[in-house]
Amino acid sequence: MRPTRRDFLQSALASGALASLPPRAWSAFSDDLQRKLAADPLRPQFHLLPAKNWMNDPNGPIYWQGRYHMFFQYNPGSAVWGDMHWAHAVSEDMVHWRHLPIALAPTPGWDDADGCFTGSAVDDRGTATILYTGVKRVPLERATLRDGHNNFREVQCLATSTDAQLRSWKKLDHPVIEPPNDPQITGFRDPFLWREGNDWLLGVASGHAKQGGCVLLYRSKDLRAWEYLHELASGKWKEKELTNPVDSGEMWECPDFFPLGKKHVLLYSTAGQVIWESGEFDPKELKFHSDKRGILDHGAYYAQKTQLDAHGNRILWGWIPEKRPDAELIAAGWAGCMALPRTLSLSADGELEMSIAPAAQSLREKLLTPKNIAHSSEALQHVAIEDLCGELAWKTPSASFALTLEDQMGPWWSVALTQKDPAASLEVNGATFEFPSMPGNANDFHFFLDGSVAELIVNGRHAITTRIYRQPNGPLRIKPGKDFNPTSFQAWQLRPISRDRLTT
């Protein structure tokens, strides 16, 4: 959905000429491109991504009749943003995926003629139902999305499926929610919804110029007729006048809201970050009162979305964007991937906690650290991660340390911890952030490497996702700093989810 961060293509892609592509056309590509993608060492092997081209936001993840369905923003015609469709993949474990035909495509001449943007999927008494944002070019005075490149009017649309595999969807012939008639509105997109008693409640990402981002709250009995209530939550802008209201904090994107433990959690993306807040939801006044706040991921992570798994756990998804120019994306033939699923929880003091979903353990092909070696530093000598496809887990005492993964050309990924009680500073590939020291000053690290993607979670509370684009030369080996003395250390070679890096 991200026109606020991508120049819309000034080509047939932007004009909507690809909207009439047949559902399966997106998966057909030349043998040359297939060979190039399969041989690209920077292309992830176990993160969900399309067979080719651009992807961004996760849309409407839902557990439906024994399977996990993931939809996501997809450009069928290029490896850069534009012509947004809903691609569709299905999985039995949230790790191994199979692509299905495109679920939603723009309808020429209609309210989503220029894009089917982000939204949510729910079970409406046995009928799978999608609420999504449709966009259409309009004159400036009618636009809700004005980012210096596009003038789009955003409306909320509905589609249903009676297909057990959710392969086919029927759009309602009119939008279900029109934007407010307010020239100060900075956006109106990315609906999420939940049940509260007999009512459906729906939040839409929005904001007000020179005030801040917010979530507009609506109520319905049938998902079709909606009543506006008030703002569920709001924030403050950064007091900088920027062309893009998302960058200035005047607009929130991709909000999500759900109960977790004894509290509620609000997530939203703005100014290049994903923010979490925990607090109390008043079921009478239908307002959220925030108590705590933090950054969900300090790296390349955006447009988060959650769902419940088969066991009622709250699962977090997120888009891992690219950090290289469009020309390089077009040359590569692909862009973007989905982060690994993270299970969310709240600590007793209201801090958001996360861990990689246990299903990811099915990727482990070989333990690289012998079990019979007592001293973990000796085990590091045995680690050689092939094909940029591995997992590390270690624990350290309170002391500062440094650790580097290297190939024959030098450093690939590095982490350094500096203790500054009562806080600690973590530097990952040159990016630094601080976090409170844990009780007892013990630290826990969990790391996944997949091509150009590196996901690190520290103490189950802090995450940083990194992109690395240098071509590798040989396996990666561990180079510990002189102060690296872990109390435990394990490494695994991971297996791809397909034989040809094409995901399915």
Distance CA 392, CA 455 (A): 10
The 10 Å Cβ neighbour count of residue 496 is: 18
DSSP letter string over 350-383? S-EEEEE-GGGGGGEEEE-S-TT-SSHHHHGGG-
Amino acid in the structure at residue 391: E
| CB within 8 Å of 181: residues ≥ 6 apart | none
Distance CA 300, CA 466 (A): 6
Distance CA 145, CA 303 (A): 17
Maximum separation of any 2 CA atoms in the chain, in Å: 70
Q: Judge whether 437 and 419 are in contact, CB under 8 Å.
A: yes
| CA-wise closest residue to 180 among 218, 149, 212, 151 | 218
Amino acid in the structure at residue 187: G
| CB within 8 Å of 132: residues ≥ 6 apart | 59, 60, 86, 104, 112, 116, 117, 118, 119, 120, 156, 157, 159, 191
DSSP element (H, E) containing 15:
helix 12-15
Helix (H, G, I), strand (E, B) or coil at 33: helix
Distance CA 498, CA 295 (A): 33
Burial class (CB in 10 A: 0-12, 13-18, 19+), 198: exposed
Burial class (CB in 10 A: 0-12, 13-18, 19+), 417: buried
Distance CA 241, CA 253 (A): 18
Query: Tokens standing for 373?
Result: 């070696």
Distance CA 132, CA 46 (A): 28
| CB within 8 Å of 397: residues ≥ 6 apart | 441, 442, 443, 485, 487
| CA-wise closest residue to 365 among 46, 51, 92, 43 | 46
The 10 Å Cβ neighbour count of residue 239 is: 10
Q: Judge whether 267 and 306 are in contact, CB under 8 Å.
A: yes
Active site residue 282: no
Query: Tokens standing for 367?
Result: 């333990």
Q: Which of the following is catalytic: 31, 57, 124, 173?
A: 57
Distance CA 444, CA 502 (A): 33
Question: Cα 112 to chain center, whole Å?
Answer: 23
Catalytic positions, written as ranges: 57
